[in-house]
C-alpha cells in the first residue's frame, strides 16, 4: 500500500508539473445506490444520497487525469428473509480517473472517463439500530461522461462495487451507485 501511494503521488506530481492544462474545482452531487448480494433471500431497493468535495484535472489536449477527494453519503435499503433495514453509510472517497476529451470546442467540451476509487468508512446509521461490521475500506470501478461549459462542469457516473461492504464470509455483498454531480472550476 505504501509503494502504491508513493508511486501514485510521484505520477500526480509529474503530471501537474508537465501538464498543459490544470483545473481545480469543487463539486456537489446526488447519488442512488443499490446493494447486491449472492444470497437468494436478499433483496434491495435504491435510495438517494449525496456527495461533495474537490477535484483537480490536468493533462494535455485530449487525455487528462482527474483525482478527487469526496465526502459521500450512500443510502440503501435491503431485506433478508422478512427483516428489512435501511442503512446510511458515510465515506471519504478518492477516485483517480483517466479521461479523454471527445469534443473540445475550447468554451465547451464533452468527455469520457474511467478509473478506480477507494472509499474509507467514516460511519453509518441503521434505521433499526442494528450493528453491522462494515469494512474500513472498499474498492470500486467508475466510468462516466461529462460536459464542461466555461467554468462549470457536469458529470454522470456509474460505480461498480468491486469489494464487499460487510465483513462476512457467508455471502458476497457489494454496492453499485449512479451519480450526477455539478462542479465549478475556480482555477
Domain that holds residue 72: 2-185
Q: Give the separation between CA 29 and CA 51, rounded to whole angstroms.
A: 5
State the cell numbers at 90: 458515510
Q: How many domains does the chain have?
A: 1
b/e burial code for range 141-172 (CB count within 10 A of at least 16 → b)? ebebebebeeeebebebebebeebbbeeeeee
Sign of CA dihedral 130, 135, 137, 140: negative
If the chain, 187 residues long, is cut into consecutive pieces of 10 residues, what is the mean pLDDT of each piece?
64 60 94 73 78 94 94 83 79 96 94 96 78 80 97 97 70 79 95
**Residue 83's pLDDT is what?**
76
User: Under the phi-then-psi rule, with left for phi > 0, alpha for psi from -120 to 50, and beta for the rest, what region is 119?
Assistant: beta
Residue 38: the pLDDT is 60
State the pLDDT at residue 85: 75
What pLDDT sits at residue 39? 59
Amino acid at each position: 500500500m505504501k509503494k502504491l501511494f508513493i508511486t501514485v503521488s510521484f505520477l500526480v506530481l509529474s503530471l501537474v508539473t508537465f501538464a498543459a492544462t490544470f483545473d481545480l474545482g469543487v463539486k456537489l452531487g446526488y447519488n442512488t445506490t443499490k446493494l447486491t448480494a449472492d444470497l437468494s433471500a436478499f433483496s434491495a431497493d435504491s435510495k438517494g444520497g449525496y456527495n461533495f468535495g474537490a477535484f483537480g484535472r490536468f493533462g494535455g489536449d485530449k487525455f487528462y487525469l482527474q483525482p478527487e477527494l469526496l465526502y459521500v453519503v450512500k443510502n440503501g435499503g435491503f431485506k433478508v428473509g422478512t427483516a428489512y433495514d435501511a442503512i446510511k453509510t458515510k465515506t471519504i472517497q478518492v477516485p483517480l480517473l483517466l479521461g479523454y476529451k471527445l469534443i473540445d470546442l475550447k468554451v465547451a467540451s464533452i468527455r469520457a472517463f474511467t478509473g478506480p476509487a477507494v472509499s474509507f468508512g467514516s460511519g453509518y446509521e441503521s434505521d433499526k439500530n442494528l450493528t453491522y461490521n462494515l469494512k474500513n475500506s472498499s474498492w470500486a470501478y467508475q466510468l462516466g461522461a461529462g460536459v464542461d461549459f466555461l467554468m462549470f462542469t457536469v458529470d454522470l457516473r456509474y460505480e461498480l462495487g468491486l469489494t464487499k461492504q460487510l465483513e462476512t464470509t457467508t455471502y458476497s455483498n457489494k454496492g453499485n451507485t449512479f451519480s450526477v454531480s455539478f462542479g465549478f472550476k475556480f482555477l
